[in-house]
């Protein structure tokens, strides 16, 4: 075990994966000599050289298209998209190509690519360095989407992503890259996809969150406890595949659900969770499902703290749910 | 040959590489086979026996010449008009027809429209419909080969329209930067659906676009099997010796519609088409073979007869293959069924068990 913050855990995990398997290589903008704008790849160029830590021209479609070709050929590329906000030039490669290669070839050409990308607000990044648009990708069949919220999960999920035979979008909550540290296993402690983590057990209300929304959700649970409300906090960790059993089991126990994400509400990932609960846990519900999310506005610069869900909003939604029945 | 950074337009190939004598008749046979299959498929679509078809007629020399200049270990990244490339690669006609029909024998399991086939055994990567996306992928595969020190090239096939796409720019730019063993083979068939070549770009040639990326751009007559073969052969030799990528523009003409959903009479004249057909690559090669005493009119008549019979027989056999298992719809989304897909399949199974129609 080593005490690391989240971005250090990612750096250490990339290093270990590259030491273990010569097929693993990295490509992206400013990831080599410069070590990445968030330093996620610091020191890797020096250790593995330009052939395995590839600084690319400024083209996201080039990065993902090339990564696909490498994967088809048998390498295990881990591509970095500098900010999730800049992934759209590669949207065609991800949605039309990467996610469909196995299917459209009848299983002849699996394309195993990991795309890492920092996402989310809280760093004063304005419109184009803050968005949380995981739902676009979750909607597409053929690509897995995972989001760690702790240094240990960052390592465990990234190891699983690199091992996985399918394409994986690995979203990194940049707001908490350095704000918390935790014990990280040194070995290959993989976190399997499709398994949510119970952050805190509770019996009155279930709070669902992922990524950078887990800390404020846990804080809300703490405040609720002081008021005598027992909140269960579930960190989804893996959006595709989703641990539907864990979501349903929690609501069957508590009868109330509050869904938290920083993305806009309309057609956000929370809509899928709410639909799942309506389809499979309706008779357990004692109160309407609540969503605490970003507003249906573009992501603002000066007013980002107004936009982002915080512990206060989450706790209020939970109290309303408890009061409703 | 244009050297990197040289501000010149495309130049012809050296002329030193010639088509192997023993391969000429085989190349001709393949071109005739592709043409006969093409004509038949257009008819089959009109008869409702296949759903869609994108013909290649007019592009046979470009496709067969390029394919024959490669080795079986080289990787092909096709667009959706590369039937003759697949045939020249050794893909059986039956396998192509199975794909057009989407039957149980189809190697891509009925997942895509006709023409979007892929054959792993022949290093023929599966095609897609978005334009140009295979170009960056071909570059990535070449970068992988470069890292593994494999003596192979990757070749991306695309059309004139694709030179306007994002991935054309990104792909040639990456290839120039990394000097990877890639060949960019543009079949300029003059029409991107209804858009003529002149309105696609102000560039005088497409090949000259390569110059800006610091890679050689070569313009060849795509109706000349020898010229295409020589250009690809030389590009391949340069790539495997570490000399980096090449772009080749093969000038051809799309005799047919963009696809069976298109009527080219809306945007081009019969006169233009007739003029283009004067340069038919099949007629041209036949003329050469007859003039050099390698072929006769009688042999030609027999070849067409045989080939047309083979095409009919092969298609009719493919039509008799079993239909796909409807449950296979859930396979290959991921390596393993996710719980959600397993649930959807179980719902499907329950409905069919209860007597619901399978589709």
B236 annotated active-site: no
Q: What string of DSSP letters covers B11-25?
A: B---S-----GGGHH
Q: Do A69 and B173 touch (CB under 8 A)?
A: no
- pLDDT recorded at residue A263: 98
Statement: residue B63 has pLDDT above 70:
yes
Contact A135, A309 (CB under 8 A): no
Closest residue in A to B154 (Cα–Cα) = A69
Distance of residue B69 Cα from the nearest chain A Cα, in angstroms: 21
Please report the pLDDT score of residue B358 as a whole number: 66
Q: Does A141 touch chain B (CB under 8 A)?
A: yes
Determine the distance in angstroms separating the CA of A17 from the nearest CA of chain B, rounded to an integer.
Answer: 18
Asked whether the beta carbons of B238 and B246 are under 8 A apart, the reply is: yes
Of A64, A165, A244, which has the smallest distance from its Cβ to B335's Cβ?
Answer: A165
Q: Say if CB A72 and CB B125 are below 8 A apart.
A: yes
Listing DSSP states for B56-86 in one string gives -TT-HHHHHHHHHTS-TTSEEE--S--HHHH
A102 with B116: Cβ contact below 8 A: no
Taking every pair of C-alpha atoms in chain B, what is the biggest distance, in angstroms? 71
The answer, yes or no, to whether residue B13 has pLDDT greater than 70, is no
pLDDT higher than threshold 70 for residue A157: yes
Mean pLDDT of chain A: 98
Per-residue pLDDT band for B6 (boundaries 50, 70, 90) equals: very low
Say if the Cβ atoms of B136 and A61 lie within 8 Å.
Answer: yes
With H, G, I as helix, E, B as strand and everything else as coil, classify residue A59.
Answer: coil
* Alpha carbon separation from A9 to A5, A81, A184, A307, B33 (Å, rounded): 6, 18, 7, 29, 58
Select from B84, B98, B107, B119 the least CA-distant residue to B50.
Answer: B98
- Ordered by start, the domain boundaries in chain B are 21-322, 325-359
- The crossing angle, in degrees rounded to 10, of helices A244-254 and B339-353 is 90
User: How much is the pLDDT for B16?
Assistant: 63
pLDDT at B8: 37
User: Do the two domains A2-184 and A197-323 of this chain adopt the same fold?
Assistant: yes
CB contact under 8 A, B173 and A57: yes
Token code pair at residue A75? 């390498």
Q: Return the CATH fold of B21-322.
A: Rossmann fold (3.40.50)
**Residues in A 200-239 with any Cβ partner in B closer than 8 A:** none
Nearest Cα of chain A lies from the Cα of B17 at a distance, in angstroms, of: 30
* B267 catalytic per annotation: yes
Of B174, B339, B340, the CB nearest to A57: B174
Q: For residue B3, what pLDDT band results from cuts at 50, 70 and 90?
A: very low
Please give, rounded to a whole number of angstroms, the shortest distance from the CA of A82 to a CA of chain B: 17
CB contact under 8 A, B338 and A166: no
B5 pLDDT higher than 90: no
Residues B109 and B101: their CA atoms lie apart, in Å, by 10
Residues of A in contact with B148 (CB under 8 A): 73-74
Contact: A92, B135; criterion CB under 8 Å: no
**How far apart, in whole angstroms, are the C-alpha atoms of residue B113 and residue B260?**
12
pLDDT at residue B9 tops 60:
no
B2 pLDDT band (50/70/90 cuts)?
A: very low
- Is the pLDDT at B15 greater than 80? The verdict is no
* Residues 16 through 55 of chain A touching chain B, CB cutoff 8 Å: 25, 51-52, 54
Q: For residue A325, is pLDDT > 90? A: no
In this prediction the ipTM stands at: 0.97
Listed by start position, the domains of chain A span: 2-184, 197-323
Over residues B246-261, mean pLDDT: 97
Q: Which CATH number fits domain A197-323: 3.20.20.140, 3.30.720.200, 3.40.50.920, 3.40.605.10?
A: 3.40.50.920
Q: Which CATH superfamily is domain A2-184 in?
A: Thiamin diphosphate (ThDP)-binding fold, Pyr/PP domains (3.40.50.970)
- Residue A243: predicted pLDDT: 98
> Which residue of the set B121, B267, B313, B351 is catalytic?
B267
pLDDT per residue as tens digits for the range B328-352: 999 999 999 999 999 999 999 999 9
**Chain A residues within an 8 Å CB radius of B168:** none
Residues A2-44: tens digit of each pLDDT: 999 999 999 999 999 999 999 999 999 999 999 999 999 999 9
């Amino acid at each position: 075990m080593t005490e690391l913050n989240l971005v250090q855990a990612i750096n250490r995990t990339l290093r270990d994966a590259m030491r273990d398997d010569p097929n693993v290589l990295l490509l992206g903008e400013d990831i080599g000599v410069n070590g990445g704008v968030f330093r996620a790849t610091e020191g890797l160029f020096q250790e593995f050289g330009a052939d395995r830590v590839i600084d690319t021209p400024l083209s996201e479609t080039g990065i993902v298209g090339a990564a696909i070709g490498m994967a088809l050929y048998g390498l295990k590329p881990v591509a970095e998209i500098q900010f999730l906000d800049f992934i759209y030039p590669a949207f065609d490669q991800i949605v039309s190509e990467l996610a469909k290669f196995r299917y459209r070839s009848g299983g002849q050409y699996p394309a195993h690519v990991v795309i890492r990308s920092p996402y989310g607000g809280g760093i004063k990044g304005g419109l184009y360095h803050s968005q949380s648009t995981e739902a676009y990708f979750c909607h597409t069949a053929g690509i897995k989407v995972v989001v760690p919220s702790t240094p240990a999960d960052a390592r465990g999920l990234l190891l699983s992503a690199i091992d996985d035979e399918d394409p994986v979008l690995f979203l990194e909550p940049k707001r908490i890259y350095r704000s918390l540290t935790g014990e990280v296993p040194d070995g290959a402690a993989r976190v399997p996809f499709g398994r949510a983590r119970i952050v805190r057990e509770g019996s009155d209300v279930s709070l669902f969150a992922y990524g950078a929304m887990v800390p404020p959700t846990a804080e809300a649970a703490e405040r609720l406890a002081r008021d005598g409300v027992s909140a269960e906090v579930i960190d989804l960790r893996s959006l595709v595949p989703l641990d539907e059993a864990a979501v349903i089991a929690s609501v069957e126990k508590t009868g109330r659900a509050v869904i938290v994400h920083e993305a806009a509400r309309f057609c956000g990932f929370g809509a899928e969770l709410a639909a799942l609960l309506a389809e499979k846990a309706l008779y357990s519900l004692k109160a309407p499902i609540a969503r605490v999310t970003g507003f249906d506005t573009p992501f603002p610069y000066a007013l980002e703290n107004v936009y982002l869900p915080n512990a206060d909003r989450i706790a209020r939604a939970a109290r309303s749910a408890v009061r409703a029945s | 040959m244009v050297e990197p950074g040289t501000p010149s337009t495309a130049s012809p190939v050296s002329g030193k590489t010639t088509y192997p004598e023993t391969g000429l008749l085989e190349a001709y046979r393949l071109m005739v086979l592709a043409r006969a299959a093409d004509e038949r498929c257009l008819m089959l679509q009109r008869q409702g026996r296949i759903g869609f078809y994108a013909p290649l007629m007019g592009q046979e020399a470009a496709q067969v010449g390029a394919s024959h200049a490669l080795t079986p270990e080289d990787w092909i990244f096709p667009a959706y008009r590369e039937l003759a490339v697949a045939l020249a690669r050794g893909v059986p006609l039956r396998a192509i027809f199975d794909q057009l029909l989407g039957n149980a024998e189809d190697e891509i399991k009925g997942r895509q429209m006709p023409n979007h086939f892929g054959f792993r055994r022949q290093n023929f990567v599966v095609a897609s419909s978005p334009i140009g996306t295979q170009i960056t992928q071909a570059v990535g595969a070449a970068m992988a080969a470069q890292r593994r020190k494999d003596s192979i090239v990757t070749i991306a096939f695309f059309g004139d329209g694709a030179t306007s796409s994002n991935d054309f720019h990104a792909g040639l730019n990456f290839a120039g930067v990394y000097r990877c063993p890639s060949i960019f083979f543009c079949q300029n068939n003059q029409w991107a659906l209804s858009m003529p070549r002149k309105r696609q770009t102000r560039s005088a040639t497409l090949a000259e676009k390569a110059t800006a990326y610091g890679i050689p751009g070569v313009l060849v007559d795509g109706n000349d099997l020898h010229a295409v073969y020589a250009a690809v052969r030389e590009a391949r030799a340069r790539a495997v010796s570490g000399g980096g990528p090449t772009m080749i523009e093969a000038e051809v003409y799309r005799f047919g519609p963009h696809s069976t959903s298109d009527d080219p009479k809306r945007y081009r004249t019969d006169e233009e088409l007739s003029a283009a057909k004067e340069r038919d690559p099949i007629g041209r090669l036949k003329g050469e073979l007859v003039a050099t005493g390698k072929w006769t009119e009688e042999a030609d008549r027999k070849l067409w007869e045989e080939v047309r019979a083979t095409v009919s027989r092969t298609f009719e056999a493919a039509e008799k293959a079993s239909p796909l298992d409807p449950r296979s719809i859930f396979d290959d989304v991921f390596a393993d069924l996710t719980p959600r897909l397993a649930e959807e399949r179980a719902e499907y199974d329950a409905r069919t068990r209860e007597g619901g129609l399978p589709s």
